[in-house]
């Protein structure tokens, strides 16, 4: 069973992702935008690189599952590296 804290963080991450991209169809999202999303998290939002990496991995897993279940045609985060470079 997943830790309630982890579950809460995952829900928060999804809300942030939807706030930024929710007005668009998933098939219009591009890898460069996902890289920009990571960079903004690091620099503007001051999120730690480890946290950004975890967020990307969770979102990648969700999109992978959507593809597997044939709800999505592709994973917009497939080419995005989970490991975020330091904002320093």
In a domain? residue 9: no
Q: What pLDDT score does 86 carry?
A: 54
Q: Identify the band that residue 85 occupies on the pLDDT scale cut at 50, 70 and 90.
A: low
Q: What pLDDT score does 8 carry?
A: 81
In a domain? residue 62: yes
In a domain? residue 67: yes
Tell the residue number behind the tokens 């999505």, with chain if given: 72
- Give the mean pLDDT of 38-45: 89
pTM of the model: 0.74
In a domain? residue 3: no
In a domain? residue 16: no
- Residue 32's domain spans which residues? 28-81
- Give the mean pLDDT of 43-61: 89
In a domain? residue 41: yes
In a domain? residue 54: yes
Instruction: Tell me which long-range contacts 55-63 makes (C-beta under 8 A, separation of at least 24).
Output: 55/13, 56/80, 56/81, 56/82, 56/84, 57/82, 58/10, 58/13, 59/13, 59/14, 59/17, 62/14, 63/26
For the chain, what is the domain count? 1
Q: What pLDDT score does 3 carry?
A: 66
């Amino acid at each position: 069973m997943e830790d309630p804290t982890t579950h809460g963080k995952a829900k928060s991450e999804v809300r942030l992702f939807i706030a930024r991209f929710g007005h668009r169809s998933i098939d219009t999202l591009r890898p460069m935008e996902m890289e920009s999303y990571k960079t903004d998290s690091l620099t503007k939002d001051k999120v730690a690189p480890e946290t950004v990496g975890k967020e990307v991995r969770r979102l990648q897993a969700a999109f992978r599952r959507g593809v597997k279940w044939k709800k999505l045609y592709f994973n917009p985060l497939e080419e995005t590296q989970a490991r975020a470079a330091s904002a320093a």
